[in-house]
Structure 1
Amino acid sequence: MSVLTFDIPGNKTPDDVSKSITTSAAEGDHGADTDLHRALSTRHLTMIALGSSIGMGLWLGSGTSLAHGGPVAIFVGYLLSATMIWSVSHSIGEMAIMYPLPSAFIQWTSIFVDRAAAFALGWAYWFSFWITIANELQGVVTVLRFWTHAVPTAAWITIFWVVIIFINIWAVRFFGEVEVVASTIKFSWIFVVIISLIVVSAGGAPNHEAIGFRYWNAEPFTHGFKGFLAVMPTCIFAMSGSENAALVACETANPRKSVPRAVGSIWLRLSLFYILGSLMVTITVDPHDKDLFGGEGVNASPFVIAYKNAGLMPMAHIMNAVIFISVLSTGSISAYAGSRSLMGMAHMDIAPKLFGKADKVGRPVAGLFITLLIGGGLSYLNVNHSGAEVFGWFSNITSLLTLFGWGMICLSHIRMRHAWKLQGRSVADLPWTTWTFPYGAWWGLVWCIILIIAEFYLSIWPLGGEPGAKTFFANFVSVVAVVVLYIGAKCYYRGRVWVDARTIDLDGPRRFYREEETDEEKAGRRGVGKYVQKALGGFIN
């Protein structure tokens, strides 16, 4: 990790260095040790954090969840998942400000937990990124089939594969602007969805049918407790991607300013997109509707079905267009994240050095090429299988890899704080602290473990199917792959179960900030206000 070290001159302490350098808000800048450019602003990071995970999982996957689990199961599933990603995001916030590294949580795992665990996490997460690209591309086909079946599946996949490639090979700032626009559309439309579907449920639609909580009362759980467990992979898959804000932090000008705002925006997405959004689906759509994604009908989004059944076809078309933008955006972000993960792993010497380089405008071309090539190629599975079937395979794989990633983020945060304390440092010396520690980090970690065990149970005794080796490996192969990667890496690297906290270099990969705030930071802080800052997830120190 020599490229990620920060040499402290002479016998000066980090504090001495911090006070002596005044040329920028950040003094030890490890993003600059790579070929990446700091071309993204607070606005980019905040909007990517808001919209990065709003894609196929929420808009389409909620249909399969509603059918498998029922209205109460899907609502509780999103509520539980929301508390988990809330915890994970606060752990990310504290570490991303001090350690804004190219592959973020992969490198944090290597520093604070174990090199073998980082090896397994890095390659597993890269797998999940190109699987997500494939899933989102096949999701585009499902969305467009609401309008026409005239275009072959392979043609749609090819067209929008090229679009995702174009977005990512352009300048990094262009990628950021595209995601800001996409996130703005998604974030704005959810207000329309919530208000309009409340009106629909109350009987204000053209069909004048008051629904209320009819489906909650009739059948809250369609397949009992096992149905609830079956909902969780889709809920986790829907929220996967929120952690990508940690990767973007490396390419922002001032993480100490940008990251807390991105972390603070999480409550908006959790409450509006997932919790209220899933509630609107449960009060307007019958879990036995044949047109739900995964059913025998048109395989549409439950949000589209809600408008269609209410006689609001213009709204159904607009909703489908927003879903199309969301799905394409999530695929683009996955390509971005996959290439940056490979770059970080190359700097850690756990991936070929070729992936550690970027061109003169800051694009990790080799990482983008291989991530987009595999992700796009895998999406052609949709040509010979139904979109819902492919979605089921990919979402199960991705959700388990996401749980592993979230768990390692929380564990890295716990270990970082432990090392900080063990080496005699004060919490007050951290550039930003989260009020959720330690309870938030432990909450996220424990639930990740519980849900991985629950998915093991479902892989052996699947919902609506017979136990078998094929079913088990189709649903649980990602965990098997992680275990194999970890054991292989552990045999190679050897050493302790995890790194000795007393020997962790807390300053080598760290980014130092000067004590004086810039005028822009001060103005921004005054504009937010203390009360709002608390609501957004903590105070900026």
Structure 2
Amino acid sequence: MIALGGSIGTGLTIGTGGGLATSGPVSLTLGFLFMGIICYAVMAALAEMGTYMPHDRGFPGYATQFVSPELGFAVGWAYYLKYTLAQANNLNAAAYIIEFWSPGVNGGVWIAICLCLMVTINYFGAKSFGRVEYLLGWVKVATMAMLICINIVLFFGGGPTHDRIGFRNWTNGTAFLEFKAKGAAGRFLGFWQALGSGLYAYMGTELLSIAVGEAANPRKAVPSAIKKTVFRITFFYIFNVALLGLVVPARDPLLRAANKAKLSATASPFVVALEIAKIKGLPHLLNALFLFFVVSAAISDQYIAIRTLYSLSATGQAPAVFSRTNRRGMPMWSLLASSLISCVAFINVASGGAKLFKYFVSSLTIIAALAWISILTTYLRFHHCLRVQNPYLSWVALSVTALVMISRGWVAFVPWDHVTFILTYIGLAWFLVMLVAYKLVMRSKIVPARLVDLTPPELIDDYAQDDDDNGAGQDGGAGRALTRALPAKAATLARRVLHRKGQGEKTDPAVL
């Protein structure tokens, strides 16, 4: 439910409208399906690393341990930037959703109220955050199920107009829309834009890795949570996008008008489907539900931003003040810094929420791609260190994600738009600056594969406890159970460590 809270938000409820109007229904569905496979590859890589060696820093910690300190530093700061901007984006969306009921009130008022609510929930720590996100996660699941049912009814002609839509919108020549070019090239570019829309919608699924430190038994909880999360998100996303493309024509005037609207329920393609079917009364309900969506996502974004900055500080990669905690264990300075940066959402008062949302989407998509690339790079390095052969899916996922990231801002060149270019690639520039600066200042190097420490910390801790219970040099039940629970190659490494401990030898990471 934590990942659902951070993933299901404006990317699905609002962003899919622009993708449908730009790419066409089949292109958009295929784009979400393809990026769902990539998302599965990323999460599977994260699950394997999290199962073998849970890390309280999440994938920035894995990047530091398995690749190089500068990669962990750069991806940690890029991830922090991503979630501070994501907070602002969701606060911006929440303000315009509320404006649906009170158009005369300045949007800054609603941003301030939502910001205070977000800070209050996160102030009380992981338990408060977990309870709220669990409840809001179920609200999202129920809403997604409701939208699927409504669109199925409309598909078979069960709406007030009794118009049996069927596959009409997939066979009327708009299945693959042309974008910026004619013919096959234009249809391919439309599909490529759909990949970017899918990446933006799926971003946030990896936040489970940051919450590992709160799990009582991460070795058991993380794989189960990741599998359930990927299944739920992929199922709801693909079904909703496919049905949306069936019931809403890609060239419908209402859809094109909605894409130019402010960020309220009227900007959602799901509301467009209801308006086309002449269903009255539901926009207010959907507006309230979508408000839950963006507030939930904003709370998750701030939680992850706080934990990321705290981890950076605890490892010496950020000022020490950000790892100082109060009596409740809350890193107050990290909370304050993350809250202040999210105040960039107040820019919408001057520039307009719709334009700001567009810029945020471009920037966040690039940073999300960087996060996935870092996870996959770290995983491949992890496999190299374990000498496990042929992880083909991860190589494919890494290549596709890198291509989508690099080409995300190509529309800035046709015609040239320096504002779009800068705001699209600012996240990539930030990542590269952090990477190069750390390497130059700290003179760090890529960790040689033979020196990467692959010993699970829990293995040594449990074996030490087993020594106390059964006598030194005895491989008791705990040690045997652990080696049986690990994968074959990991178990071999574990037995080697246990044997050396039993002989009284110090374990040198180089032997692994």
TM-score w.r.t. length of structure 1: 0.79
Contact 1:105 1:409 (8 Å CA) reproduced: yes
Where in structure 2 are the equivalents of 1:238-253 lying within 5 Å?
A: 238-253=201-216
Aligned to 2:488: none
Counterpart for residue 296 of structure 2: 329
Matched, 1:56 2:16: no
> In structure 1, the residue corresponding to 2:96 is in which secondary structure?
helix
What is the CA distance between 1:476 and its match in structure 2?
A: 1.8
Q: Give the aligned partner of residue 478 of structure 1.
A: 427
SS at match of 1:505: coil
Per-residue deviation, residues 489-525 of structure 1 (Å, max 9, x unmatched): 22223344x22111112238667685979xxxxxxx9
Whole-Å separation in 1 of the counterparts to 2:357 and 2:397: 25
Specify which of 49, 52, 55 is matched with residue 101 of structure 1. Answer: 55
Q: Would the alpha carbon gap of residues 509 and 516 (structure 1) be closer, same or farther in structure 2, given more than 3 Å must change?
A: closer
Q: Which residue of 2 aligns with 1:151?
A: 105
Task: Evaluate the alpha carbon distance shift between residue 149 and residue 290 of structure 1 in structure 2; reply closer, same or farther with a 3 A threshold.
Answer: farther
Letter in 2 for 1:229: W
Higher relative contact order structure (alpha carbons within 8 Å, sequence separation ≥ 6): 1
Report the number of matched residues: 453
Secondary structure at the counterpart of residue 227 of structure 1 = helix
The equivalent position to 2:313 in structure 1, one of 346, 363, 383, is 346
RMSD (CA atoms): 2.4
Q: Do the aligned residues in 2 keep the contact of 1:100 with 1:511 (CA within 8 Å)?
A: no
What is the CA-CA distance between 1:185 and the residue it aligns to? 1.0
CA contact (8 A) 1:89 1:263 kept: yes
Asked whether the equivalents of residues 107 and 348 of structure 1 are also in contact (C-alpha less than 8 Å), the reply is no
- Partner deviation per Cα, 1:6-43 (whole Å, 9 max, x = no partner): xxxxxxxxxxxxxxxxxxxxxxxxxxxxxxxxxxxxxx
Equivalent residue for 1:125? 79
2:510 match: none
Instruction: State the shift of 1:233 in Å.
Output: 3.0
Matched residue of 1:243: which SS?
A: helix
| Structure 1 residues 93-113: Cα deviation after superposition (integer angstroms, max 9, x where no partner) | 122234433331111111111
Question: Which residue of structure 1 aligns with residue 401 of structure 2?
Answer: 448
1:294 counterpart letter in structure 2: N
Q: Do the aligned partners of 1:460 and 1:467 also contact (CA within 8 Å) in 2?
A: yes
Alpha carbons of structure 1 residues 88 and 267: separation in structure 2 relative to 1, 3 Å: same
Give yes or no for contact 1:115–1:493 (8 Å, CA) kept in 2: no
Cα 1:111/1:288, change in 2 over 3 Å: same
Q: Are the aligned partners of 1:397 and 1:477 in contact in 2 as well (CA < 8 Å)? A: yes
Deviations 1:177-196 (A, max 9, x none): 10000001111222221122
Inter-CA distance 302–251: structure 2 relative to 1 (3 Å threshold): same
Q: Say if 2:137 is the partner of 1:197.
A: no
Alpha-carbon contact 2:71-2:435 (below 8 Å) kept:
yes
The answer to whether residue 465 in structure 2 is matched with residue 499 in structure 1 is no
Counterpart residue number, 2:386: 420
Distance in 2, Cα, partners of 1:236 & 1:444: 12
Q: 1:129 to 1:417 in 2, by over 3 A?
A: same
Out of 329, 343, 346, the position equivalent to 1:380 is 346
8 Å Cα contact 1:102-1:340 kept in structure 2 = no
Letter in 2 for 1:237: Y
Q: 2:421 matched to 1:488?
A: no
Which sections of structure 1, spanning at least 5 residues, go unmatched?
A: 1-46, 422-426, 428-435, 518-524, 526-541
Change (3 A) 1:290 1:357: farther
Q: Which has the higher helix share?
A: 2
Going from structure 1 to structure 2, the CA distance change for 1:418 and 1:236 (only over 3 Å counts) comes to same
Task: Give the AA of the match of 2:358.
Answer: G
Aligned to 1:42: none
Measure how far apart 1:321 and its partner are. 1.9
Q: Secondary structure at the match of 1:485?
A: helix
- Say if 1:53 and 1:330, in contact at 8 Å, map to a contact too: yes
Q: Secondary structure at the match of 1:151?
A: coil
Separation in structure 1 between the aligned mates of residue 307 and residue 398 of structure 2, nearest angstrom:
24
Residue 61 of structure 1 deviates from its aligned partner by: 0.8
* Map 1:83-482 → 2, pairs under 5 A: 83-218=37-172, 219-222=174-177, 223=179, 224-292=187-255, 293-295=258-260, 299-375=266-342, 377-421=343-387, 438-461=391-414, 466-482=415-431
SS at match of 1:265: helix
Q: TM-score, structure 2 length as denominator?
A: 0.83
User: Hey, what's the Cα distance between the residues in 2 that align with 1:231 and 1:149?
Assistant: 32
Deviation at 1:454, TM superposition (A): 2.1
Could you tell which deviates more after superposition, 467-476 or 436-445? 436-445
Alpha-carbon distance, 1:374 to partner: 0.7
Q: Residues 62 and 378 of structure 2 are in contact (CA less than 8 Å); yes or no, is this contact kept in structure 1?
A: yes
User: Is the CA contact (8 Å cut-off) linking 1:103 and 1:342 kept in structure 2?
Assistant: no
- Match runs of 1:23-62 below 5 Å: 47-62=1-16
In the alignment, is the contact (CA less than 8 A) between 2:148 and 2:243 conserved in 1?
Answer: yes
Counterparts in 2 of 1:437 and 1:60: CA distance versus 1, 3 Å: farther
CA–CA separation in structure 2 for the residues paired with 1:489 and 1:58? 36
Question: Distance between the aligned counterparts of 2:287 and 2:452, measured in 1?
Answer: 50
* Equivalent AA in structure 2 for residue 490 of structure 1: K
The aligned amino acid for 1:337 is I
The Cα shift of 1:140 comes to 0.9
Q: Tell me the amino acid that sits aligned with residue 199 of structure 2.
A: I
- AA partner of residue 330 (structure 2): R
Q: Deviations 1:305-350 (Å, cap 9, x if unpaired)? A: 2123323234333222221101100010010001111111112211
Larger radius of gyration: 2
Give the direction of change, closer, same or farther, for the CA distance of 1:217–1:208 in structure 2 (3 Å limit): same
Deviation per CA, 1:369-400, whole angstroms, max 9, x where unpaired? 1112111x111121123322111111111111
CA distance in 2, matches of 1:477, 1:402: 12
CA shift, 1:443, in A, is 2.7
CA separation of 1:85 and 1:450: change in aligned 2, threshold 3 A: same
